[in-house]
Structure 1
Amino acid sequence: MRPSYKVTELLGDGIGAELSEAVHALAGALPVDLQFEPVDLTLENRRARRSAVYDEAVASVEANKVALKYPTITAEESPNQVLRRRLNLSVIHRPVYTIPGVPSNFRPELDVDIIRIATGGTYDDPGRRIGDSGAVSLRIVERQPVLEAARYAFTLARKTGKNVTSASKYTIQKATDGLFQEVAESVAAEYPEVPHHAELFDALLAKIIMKPEHFQVVLVLNEYGDFLSDMACGLAGSLGIGASANLAFDASAVVRVALFDAAHGTAPDIAGRGLANPTAIFLALSMLLYQVGEIRVGKAVKDGTLELLRRGVRTKDLGGSESTSSFTGAVAAEVAGRLC
Structure 2
Amino acid sequence: MANPSLLILPGDGIGPEVMAEVRKIIDWLGTQGTPFDVSEGLIGGASYDAFGVPLADETLARAQAVDAVLLGAVGSPKYDGVDYAKRPEAGLLRIRKEMDLYANLRPAQCFDALADFSSLKRDVVAGLDIMIVRELTSGVYFGEPRGIEGTGDDRVGINTQRYTTAEIRRIARSAFELARRRGNRVCSMEKANVMESGVLWREEVTWVHKNEYPDVALSHMYADNGLMQLVRNPKQFDVIVTDNLFGDLLSDAAAMLTGSLGMLPSASLGAPMANGRPKALYEPVHGSAPDIAGQARANPIATILSFAMALRYSFDMGDMATRLERAVETVLAQGHRTSDLMGPEGGNPMTTSQMGDAILAALKG
TM-score calculated relative to the size of structure 2: 0.86
The match for 2:12 is: 13
Identical counterparts, % of pairs? 28
* Match among 81, 90, 106 for residue 94 of structure 1: 106
Alpha-carbon distance in 1 for matches of 2:16, 2:287: 13
Distance 1:53 1:207, change over 3 A: closer
Once residues 204 and 99 of structure 1 are traced to their aligned partners in structure 2, the CA distance between those partners, rounded to angstroms, is: 23
Distance 1:274 1:52, change over 3 A: closer
Number of the residue aligned with 1:183? 204
Q: Aligned residue for 1:61?
A: 63
Deviations 1:133-157 (A, max 9, x none): 3322222223322222100100111
In structure 2, how many angstroms separate the alpha carbons of the residues matched to 1:101 and 1:225? 27
How many residues get paired?
334
Aligned equivalent of 2:164: 142
Judging changes above 3 Å, is the alpha-carbon distance between structure 1 residues 141 and 54 closer, same or farther for their aligned structure 2 residues?
Answer: farther
TM superposition shift of 1:52: 9.1
Match of 1:118 among 136, 139, 142: 136
Please list every run of at least 4 consecutive aligned residues from structure 1 whose deviation after the TM superposition is greater than 4 angstroms.
Answer: 50-53
From the superposition, tell whether residues 181 and 140 of structure 1 become closer, same or farther in structure 2 (CA, over 3 Å): same
Q: Determine the structure 1 residue equivalent to 2:42.
A: 40
Give distance in 2, aligned partners of 1:170 and 1:97. 29
Change (3 A) 1:251 1:145: farther
What letter is aligned with 2:234? P
Instruction: Give the conservation status (yes or no) of the 8 Å contact 2:102–2:137.
Output: yes
Do 1:29 and 1:333's aligned partners in 2 also have CA atoms closer than 8 Å? no
Task: Kindly indicate whether the alpha-carbon contact (under 8 Å) linking 1:68 and 1:261 is maintained by their aligned counterparts in 2.
Answer: yes
Q: Give the residue type in structure 2 aligned to 1:317.
A: D
Give the distance between the partners of 2:54 and 2:161, measured in 1 at CA: 29
> Which residue does the alignment assign to 1:284?
306
* Alignment CA distance shift 1:249-1:171 (3 Å): same
Query: Is structure 2 residue 234 aligned with structure 1 residue 212?
Result: yes
C-alpha offsets along residues 156-213 of structure 1, whole Å, 9 cap, x if unaligned? 1112232000010012102x11221121111111111100011111111112222222
Q: How does 1:250-261 map to 2 (within 5 A)?
A: 250=272, 256-261=278-283
Unaligned runs of at least 5 residues, structure 2: 80-85, 343-347
CA distance in 2, matches of 1:72, 1:89: 18
203 and 70 in structure 1: CA distance in 2 versus 1, 3 angstrom threshold: same
CA distance in 1, matches of 2:172, 2:234: 21
> RMSD of the TM alignment (CA)?
2.1
Matched, 1:224 2:250: no
Task: Give the TM-score of the pair, scaled to structure 1.
Answer: 0.92
3-state SS in 1 of match to 2:131 = strand
CA distance in 1, matches of 2:44, 2:24: 21
1:321 match? 349
2:323 aligned with 1:300, yes or no?
yes
Do 1:112 and 1:215's aligned partners in 2 also have CA atoms closer than 8 Å?
Answer: yes
Matched, 1:312 2:332: no
Provide the residue aligned with 1:172 in structure 2. Answer: 194
